[in-house]
Amino acid sequence: METPQNTPAEETKPKKSSYETIEESIAKMRLTFDNATLPGIFEILLTVGYTEERINLLKNDLTHLEDLQQIQTKEYADQYAETELFNNKKKEIDIEYTIHRGLVNILFKGNTHARSVLKLDEPKPRTYANWYQQVSNFYDQLGGIADLQTKASTVGVTEAKVTTQKQAIVDLQGIKESQRIEISEAQAATEARDIAFDELFPQYTEYLEYAKILLAGNQVLEALGVTVKR
């Protein structure tokens, strides 16, 4: 099933068209349950137990599902926003780091101690955790060893720039933690939404199965979202 977030839990909904989103299914259920009490429908389905009370319970469950869907949408929007903020901040830091590293790499050519301390001969890591360690070490060492900082300042990697980068890295970690929280909340919202959907959708399809038999060939089926061949 195609879904906006393409999460695994949303790919195997029972009895749903693989081309139908959660939102589309909810809209169809809303149409069906809202019209279930219409004359010509209600009294017929009442014969198989669809009382007004039962229909209202289904509508209440649907309202709950709609609320969960809205929460899920918001949580994913929050996650995407936090991820974008994180990616932009990391990119900003990395651009400066690449410049600073390139400058001191030339400056400390042949200086084994400086190159080892600043890890200048190590490739830039691909994973965030290793990248964070390398970048943090670079600026911590420059800021902590006066001789290195003094020499680095001669090529424009000043103490002020090092301090700015160190604060940016602290800020980045804060954004990273917020991102983790948003991801967790989005996943929890999706799970809650999926559980509610999985409980209600079979009841919806069962109602339609009864309706298609009891109202076979009747144009009133279209009010329930069922196409009737003319």
Q: Which residue in 154, 122, 127 sits closest to 138, CA to CA? A: 122
Q: Which residue has the tokens 């940016």?
A: 168
Measure the CA angle with vertex 39, ends 37 and 40; round to 5°. Answer: 110
Asked, for residue 229, whether it belongs to a domain, the answer is no
Going by C-beta distance under 8 Å and a sequence separation of 6 or more, which residues neighbour residue 78?
Answer: 182, 185, 186
**The pLDDT value given to residue 222:** 96
Provide the CB-side half-sphere exposure for 31 (13 A, CA): 15
Contact (CB, 8 A) for 146 and 115:
no
Asked, for residue 134, whether it belongs to a domain, the answer is yes
Asked, for residue 2, whether it belongs to a domain, the answer is no
How many residues are present in the chain?
230
Asked, for residue 230, whether it belongs to a domain, the answer is no
Q: Which residue in 146, 147, 159 sits closest to 100, CA to CA? A: 159
pTM: 0.78
Q: What are phi and psi of 36, to 5 degrees?
A: -65, -20
Asked, for residue 201, whether it belongs to a domain, the answer is yes
Q: What is the pLDDT along the chain (230 residues), one digit of tens a residue?
A: 334 444 434 444 444 445 689 999 999 999 999 999 999 999 999 999 999 999 999 999 999 999 999 999 999 999 999 999 999 999 999 999 999 999 999 999 999 999 999 999 999 999 999 999 999 999 999 999 999 999 999 999 999 999 999 999 999 999 999 999 999 999 999 999 999 999 999 999 999 999 999 999 999 999 999 988 76
Asked, for residue 220, whether it belongs to a domain, the answer is yes
**CB atoms < 10 A from the CB of 146, how many?**
10
Going by C-beta distance under 8 Å and a sequence separation of 6 or more, which residues neighbour residue 62?
Answer: 26, 29, 30, 33, 200
User: Which residues form the domain of 111?
Assistant: 8-224
Q: Which residue in 74, 108, 19 sits closest to 190, CA to CA? A: 74
Contact (CB, 8 A) for 83 and 91:
no
Asked, for residue 49, whether it belongs to a domain, the answer is yes
Q: How many domains does the chain have?
A: 1
**CB atoms < 10 A from the CB of 8, how many?**
9
78 vs 145: CA distance, rounded Å: 40
Asked, for residue 87, whether it belongs to a domain, the answer is yes
**CB atoms < 10 A from the CB of 114, how many?**
21
**The pLDDT value given to residue 228:** 80
